């Protein structure tokens, strides 16, 4: 159902709309698509934006929001679709085995209208990450539950489980990694440096160039191989603006492959993997969460837009702040303002994000180059 095509359902919503939503929906000029390095402008609401070409997930969120669902519930529909499809093997169950071969899930949801957040981190035995996050947000005063206790909570509140989150693919990947001396891994300054654990700490080195003549093993990581790549590390992070102009964001991921058990990435951290402020806009992020969560890039993006920055500049600025300290990190953000203007920026890889707006026939995928 398009907003041009007002059905009975929308009519009811329209009656109860606040005056500012009326102004936004009917008085915003219909802006043309501008593809390239700049911010892309779209027509009004609803609107769905997601990291990566997770087209089915965006379609699922669009179906919900176009049918009149709230931004929060539409985010859940979209991210759940990705969890069921196991998008890229890095969302939902069956991917990213940790050092013990186990898959765990990080997820977050944020309602920009109320600034409520719910999240689960390193959740075991439950496949429905985003639904568990919504249960935390809607049925507790907390923001973040972790590990086995998060699983117990989710199951006690009605989600299916306990479930084995491994898959034949994740087990095969893990077995090959073990056979390859557990390389690469996320350890640094440990002994043994180039084989499986148990590990013990060696001298702490502040940066790779630092030397210490008294230490036998002085590696900052156990191998020179990249730990984070296009296929080892993808997250769905989604923003939805519903027909009322309310914004929600959500994230779901099974994190980083061969992570140290207990590792939590940026996925469940508000302001890092996603963030939204009702009167400003939203941001979604993906990439090396261990680095990115130190900078809260999505908080940065939304606050920059609050201060008047265009989405493109806000996104680029957030990436640049990280790159100044970690020139080799891989990451990306997509920024979305309240007018429906969106833009991406990335560092170290080519990024794609997906959008569905009323002016589009179907989901459109936008490509962002690090040089953009």
Which residue ranges make up the annotated binding site? 263-266, 286-289
Contact call for residues 148 and 132 (beta carbons, < 8 A): no
Among 46, 93, 250, 289, binds ligand SD4 (CB under 6 A): 289
Stretch that binds ligand SD4, among 28-36, 125-133, 285-293, 360-368 (CB under 6 A): 285-293
The phi, psi pair for 56, rounded to 5°, reads -65, -35
Which residues are registered as beta bridge partners of 107? 120, 252
Nearer to ligand SD4 (CB atom), residue 68 or residue 287: 287
Does residue 50 interact with ligand SD4 by CB under 6 A?
no
Does residue 185 interact with ligand SD4 by CB under 6 A?
no
Question: Is 235 among the residues known to form the active site?
Answer: yes
- Taking residue 79's Cβ as centre, other Cβ atoms within 10 Å add up to 36
Does residue 89 interact with ligand SD4 by CB under 6 A?
no
Q: Give the nearest distance from C-beta 261 to ligand SD4 in angstroms.
A: 14
By CB atoms closer than 10 A (0-12, 13-18, 19+), residue 365 is middle
Does residue 243 interact with ligand SD4 by CB under 6 A?
no
Which residues are registered as beta bridge partners of 110? 117, 249
Does residue 235 interact with ligand SD4 by CB under 6 A?
yes
Percentages of the chain per state (helix, strand, coil), in multiples of 5: 30, 20, 50
Q: Give the nearest distance from C-beta 208 to ligand SD4 in angstroms.
A: 21
* Catalytic residue selected from 42, 90, 235, 251: 235
Q: How many angstroms separate the CA atoms of 189 and 202, rounded?
A: 5
Does residue 278 interact with ligand SD4 by CB under 6 A?
no
Nearer to ligand SD4 (CB atom), residue 343 or residue 346: 346
Q: How many angstroms separate the CA atoms of 96 and 19, rounded?
A: 47
Q: How many angstroms separate the CA atoms of 359 and 3, rounded?
A: 10
331-337 and 342-347 beta bridge pairing = antiparallel
Does residue 348 interact with ligand SD4 by CB under 6 A?
no
Q: x/- contact string, 249-268, with ligand SD4 (CB under 6 A)?
A: ----x-xx--------xxx-
Nearer to ligand SD4 (CB atom), residue 131 or residue 263: 263
Interface residue list for ligand SD4 (CB under 6 A): 233-235, 253, 255-256, 265-267, 286-289
Catalytic residue IDs: 235
């Amino acid at each position: 159902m398009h907003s041009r095509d007002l059905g009975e359902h929308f009519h009811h919503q329209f009656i109860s709309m606040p005056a500012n939503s009326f102004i936004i929906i009917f008085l915003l000029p219909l802006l043309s698509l501008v593809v390239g390095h700049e911010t892309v402008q779209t027509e009004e609401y609803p609107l769905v934006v997601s990291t990566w070409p997770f087209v089915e997930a965006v379609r699922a969120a669009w179906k919900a929001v176009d049918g009149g669902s709230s931004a929060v519930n539409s985010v859940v529909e979209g991210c759940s679709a990705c969890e069921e499809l196991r998008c890229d093997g890095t969302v939902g169950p069956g991917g990213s085995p940790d050092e013990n071969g186990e898959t765990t899930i990080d997820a977050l949801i944020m309602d920009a209208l109320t600034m409520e957040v719910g999240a689960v981190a390193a959740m075991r035995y439950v496949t429905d990450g985003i639904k568990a996050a919504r249960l935390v947000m809607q049925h507790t005063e907390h923001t973040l539950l972790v590990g086995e206790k998060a699983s117990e909570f989710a199951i006690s509140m009605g989600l299916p489980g306990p479930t084995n989150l491994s898959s034949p693919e994740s087990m095969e990947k893990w077995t090959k990694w073990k056979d390859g001396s557990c390389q690469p891994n996320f350890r640094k300054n440990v002994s043994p440096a180039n084989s499986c654990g148990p590990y013990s700490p060696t001298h702490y080195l502040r940066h790779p160039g630092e030397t210490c003549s008294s230490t036998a093993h002085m590696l900052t990581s156990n191998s020179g191989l990249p730990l984070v790549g296009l296929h080892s590390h993808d997250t769905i992070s989604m923003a939805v603006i519903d027909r009322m102009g309310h914004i929600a964001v959500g994230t779901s991921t099974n994190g980083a492959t061969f992570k140290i058990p207990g590792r939590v990435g940026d996925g469940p951290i508000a302001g890092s993997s996603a963030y939204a402020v009702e009167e400003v806009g939203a941001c979604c992020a993906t990439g090396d969460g261990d680095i990115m969560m130190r900078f809260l890039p999505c908080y940065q993006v939304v606050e920059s837009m609050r201060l008047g920055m265009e989405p493109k500049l806000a996104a680029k600025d957030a990436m640049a702040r990280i790159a100044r300290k970690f020139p080799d990190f891989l990451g990306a953000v997509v920024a979305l303002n309240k007018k429906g203007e969106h833009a991406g920026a990335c560092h170290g890889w080519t990024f794609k994000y997906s959008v569905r707006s009323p002016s589009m026939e179907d989901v459109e995928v936008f490509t962002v180059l690090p040089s953009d």
